[in-house]
Amino acid sequence: MKYFYVTTPIYYVNDKPHVGHAYSTVIADCAARFKRLSGYKVFFQTGTDEHGLKIEKEADARGIAPKELADSMHIKFKELFSDLNISYDRFIRTTDADHVQTVRTAFEKLLKNGDIYLSEYEGWYCTPCETFLTEKSLSEGGKCPQCGRPASKVKEESYFLKLDKYEKKLLDFIENNSGFIKPEFRKNEVLSFVKEGLKNLSISRTSFKWGIPVPGDDNHVIYVWFDALLNYLTGLGHETYLEGRNPDFERFLESTNHIVGKDILKFHAVYWPIMLFALGLRPPKTILAHGWWLMDGAKMSKSLGNVIDPKVIVEKFGADALRYFLLSEITIGLDGDFNTGSFTVRYNSGLANDLGNLVSRTAAMLRKYADGKIPGKNAGEDAAVLNEALVLLNGLGERYDRYDFAKILEDIFRFINILNKYINDSAPWKLNINEPEDRSNLFKILKTAAVSIYYISYFIYPFMPETSGKINNMLNIKPFDLPGFSLDPGDAADYCEKLFKNGFSIAEKSEILFPRIKFE
Ligand code: ME8
């Protein structure tokens, strides 16, 4: 059995989700769906980060308790993920009892083995970023170099995690494990950060209360990032693993893919592997750092208030339209502008015209010329067209491993347009069904189109699961996410041949996939 553990960042509950949060989650969902379809045992975790000063301050501002804020806000993330058809296996909250236990166990273990020690922190802190900063790194006027907001001076007793002890081990690990940091160009950023020398990390605070108390020292709450990163172990059942009751734990752990925004790469590629080293566990297989969605050149963010509400887009255009736009518009790793103009083009020309029309005209032709029946083994197939699908199947797994999603989609849409052109050029409506030669040509075209649409449905499933389901309904075949069903790209052609051998009837009616829309 092959394993795949994929995670999103856990999101702060100081405000409701925006398109940026939808993005990380949709990337992870697409990867999870592809792996499940390919027969992997998948565990997909997302959730919310609920502790820390930032949440405490927001709750204060609203005049409610932090837990009350988390209780209401985490629902907004769950609702959005349900609207977007996110197939997570667990939605974790850092206030969940098993997570609190994982954090306590980890802290105690590292304190015992000497990787955590008590001292004093004197320096700067950025609350919106929940990050400790050195004086040297501040920008003019004492501002946070990341978000540009004023940092505050902190001087307090603090527990520290030894980072210097593991610096060399981390450097070796990064250098010897290609594919640990994706895309490749981000690896050098991380390497140069580590090579500047790691200062031990403050991992507790005494000046506020909203967090997990340090075991045995109630004056301290555990630093929100130390707490948050451990969510990845809680989800895999760290406590049952320690009790020797979790045989899957290590298999999932070694197959871990963390999907994160580039803003939090340092936490995942530096602090997190060191925490794992200290715990005697291995670092993740891959950390994928994606780029930012911008609005007029600035990062879309809750604090800047320049956000797009993904719920509104889903309500108007459907989950798949947003999923498709997010995954096709930018190459993962780069930044992109969320622009209504490009959304319109992708929706109307890609989804409504190219894909939507192809499916509806094929269904209409099958009903008109073949009584709704896909011709079986007596009909020919156009090898040149179907060969394009085989080319796409080839190497699909590796392309997913590289998170080459925009390029995969581009190739799927190239195939869609090859098929549209094939139908236009062969003009089945001009053929005379009563002429034997025309008739066999007509059936060949219908069969080629139907088989191709099946492949298209297979290809788009991880990106647009709802649309894939609708196509399979139209074709009268089972959906790709039927429990227990899997179809590896390497087996898809054989499977397809058997499926279509005897021909079968399509559904009597089918819905329009993407109605054309006028955009404001
Ligand atoms: O950082 N474009 O939570 P967070 C693309 N709790 N992605 C964006 C984005 C944008 N404009 N804005 C946000 C945290 N994101 C921590 C994480 S993990 C152990 C703890 C996405 O609510 C992106 O993935 O600030 C980014 O890393 C994440 O949301 C930050 O979410």
* Structural domains in the chain, sorted by start: 3-316 (3.40.50.620), 339-500 (1.10.730.10)
Q: Which residue has the tokens 């593991």?
A: 166
- Tell me the CA–centroid distance for residue 56 and ligand 1, in Å: 18
pLDDT of residue 497: 95
Rounded distance between C-alpha atoms, residue 41 and residue 44, angstroms = 10
Q: Which of 219, 224, 225 is nearest to 207 (CA)?
A: 219
What pTM does this model have? 0.97
Q: Which two tokens stand for residue 376?
A: 């079986």
- pLDDT < 70 regions, the chain: 519-520
Pocket test for ligand 1, best of 6, 13, 24 (most atoms within 8 A of CB): 24
Question: For residue 293, which atom of ligand 1 is closest to its CA?
Answer: 2
Ligand 1 pocket, residue 10 CB under 6 Å: yes
pLDDT digit string, tens, across residues 335-373 = 999 988 899 999 999 999 999 999 999 999 999 999 999
- Tell me the CA–centroid distance for residue 470 and ligand 1, in Å: 32
Ligand 1 pocket, residue 9 CB under 6 Å: yes
pLDDT of residue 314: 96
pLDDT of residue 505: 97
pLDDT digit string, tens, across residues 169-211 = 999 999 999 999 999 999 999 999 999 999 999 999 999 999 9
Residue 214, beta-bridge partner list: 217
Rounded distance between C-alpha atoms, residue 105 and residue 113, angstroms = 12
pLDDT of residue 201: 96
pLDDT of residue 302: 77
Q: Is 376 helix (H, G, I), strand (E, B) or coil?
A: coil
519 contacts: CB under 8 Å, gap ≥ 6: 340, 343, 344, 347
Pocket test for ligand 1, best of 149, 260, 339 (most atoms within 8 A of CB): 260
pLDDT of residue 13: 98
CB-based contact 37:77 (threshold 8 Å)? no
Rounded distance between C-alpha atoms, residue 153 and residue 81, angstroms = 38
Helix, strand, coil fractions of the chain, as percent rounded to 5: 50, 15, 30
The pair phi, psi for residue 126, each rounded to 5°, is -105, 115
Ligand 1 pocket, residue 11 CB under 6 Å: yes
- Tell me the CA–centroid distance for residue 301 and ligand 1, in Å: 9
- Tell me the CA–centroid distance for residue 293 and ligand 1, in Å: 11
pLDDT of residue 366: 97
In terms of DSSP H, where are the helices of 150-278?
167-176, 184-195, 224-229, 231-236, 238-242, 249-254, 265-266, 272-278
Ligand 1 pocket, residue 20 CB under 6 Å: yes
- Tell me the CA–centroid distance for residue 417 and ligand 1, in Å: 36
Q: 288 vs 110, 182, 183, 186, CA distance in Å?
A: 27, 5, 7, 9
Amino acid at 344: T
The pair phi, psi for residue 446, each rounded to 5°, is -60, -40
- Tell me the CA–centroid distance for residue 319 and ligand 1, in Å: 20
Rounded distance between C-alpha atoms, residue 117 and residue 165, angstroms = 13
